[in-house]
């Protein structure tokens, strides 16, 4: 994928670009190269590095074992002008579990370290936290309808830019101004789905969900403080990210992403997320800590 490629005009085209992004090139023994995402802002999107790293690890795990958790640390901002190498290390293969360690490298320097665990299907006890009582996706505005009804021109322009870059369709439940944030309770809900159908590879669906899980979670801890990345003097960046996959799902069908932040302090914020299917099954949980700094401009 060349550096001058732009995001496709249709969401179906952007899904094709995402699938190409996740189709890694072998470079050596347990070493793979990932291509670059088109039309970004200079820094590599963290969800891209997570998803590409997972795809690298999956190439070294037998297909009967499915991804059930990942834990990663972001060490440096990725440079979008460079490709990323992924080194996979075989940490463990047991009777039920396999663990792989992945290091993402640019110019031979690590930008992310991740451990991913894979589990052979087993049956066992079951319970779950119920799905929040929120409107379903069919009664919410589409992104195009929301942009058309946005009265603030700056917010409309930002929403249009996001919609034109993402392979994921998003329908937020709470209506909040991007250009003029105000203090809010530290929670958010949205429905999301991949913008076109894909095949039945469970691990691919999980890698794409990991990609999507990093899209909006970080901003949750800033909601009570009335700031976001648009506010001068505000800086945020993901420090670590973890996902646990509880059950099977399709990322090309609607999933509810319920997000909250129980704590922020010492220039860090902690965020949690839960993914539910439309029939109320809890299929994944997310946790993330981020750097949040705010210095009022002089």
Q: Which residues of 134-150 are buried (b: 16+ CB within 10 A; e: fewer)?
A: eeebeebeebeebbeeb
Task: Reply yes or no on whether 60 is catalytic.
Answer: no
| Annotation marks residue 214 as catalytic | yes
Please give the C-alpha separations between residue 217 and each of 130, 195, 222, 249, 258, in angstroms, as whole numbers: 20, 20, 10, 20, 9
- Selected catalytic residue, list 35, 52, 214, 261: 214
How far CA 253 is from CA of 154, 176, 277, in Å, comes to: 31, 25, 8
Taking residue 157's Cβ as centre, other Cβ atoms within 10 Å add up to 14
Among residues 17, 238, 261, 285, the one annotated as catalytic is: 238
98 tagged catalytic: no
Say how many CA atoms lie within 13 Å of 110 toward its Cβ: 13
Whole-number Å distance between alpha carbons of 273 and 105 = 28
Active site residues per annotation: 214, 238, 288
């Amino acid at each position: 994928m060349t550096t001058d490629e732009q995001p496709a005009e249709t969401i179906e085209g952007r899904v094709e670009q995402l699938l190409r992004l996740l189709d890694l090139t072998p470079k050596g023994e347990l070493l793979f190269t990932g291509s670059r995402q088109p039309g970004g802002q200079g820094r590599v999107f963290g969800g891209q590095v997570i998803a590409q790293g997972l795809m690298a690890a999956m190439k070294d795990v037998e297909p009967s074992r499915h991804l059930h958790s990942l834990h990663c640390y972001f060490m440096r901002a990725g440079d979008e002008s460079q490709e990323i190498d992924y080194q996979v290390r075989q940490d463990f293969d047991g009777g039920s579990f396999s663990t792989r360690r992945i290091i993402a490298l640019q110019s031979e320097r690590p930008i992310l370290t991740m451990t991913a665990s894979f589990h052979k299907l087993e049956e066992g006890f079951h319970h779950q936290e119920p799905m929040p009582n929120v409107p379903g996706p069919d009664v919410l505005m589409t992104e195009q309808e929301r942009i058309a009804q946005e009265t603030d021109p700056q917010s409309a322009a930002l929403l249009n830019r996001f919609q034109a870059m993402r392979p994921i369709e998003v329908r937020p439940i709470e209506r909040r101004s991007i250009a003029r944030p105000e203090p809010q309770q530290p929670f958010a809900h949205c429905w999301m789905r991949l913008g076109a159908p894909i095949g039945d590879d469970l691990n691919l669906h999980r890698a794409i969900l990991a990609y999507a899980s990093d899209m909006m979670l970080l901003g949750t801890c800033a909601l009570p403080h009335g700031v976001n990345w648009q506010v001068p003097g505000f800086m945020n960046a993901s420090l670590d990210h973890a996902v646990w996959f509880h059950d099977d799902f399709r990322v090309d069908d609607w999933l509810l992403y319920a997000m909250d932040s129980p704590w922020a302090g010492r220039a860090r914020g902690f965020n949690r997320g839960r993914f539910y299917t439309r029939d109320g099954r809890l299929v994944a949980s997310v946790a993330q800590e981020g750097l949040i700094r705010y210095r009022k401009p002089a």
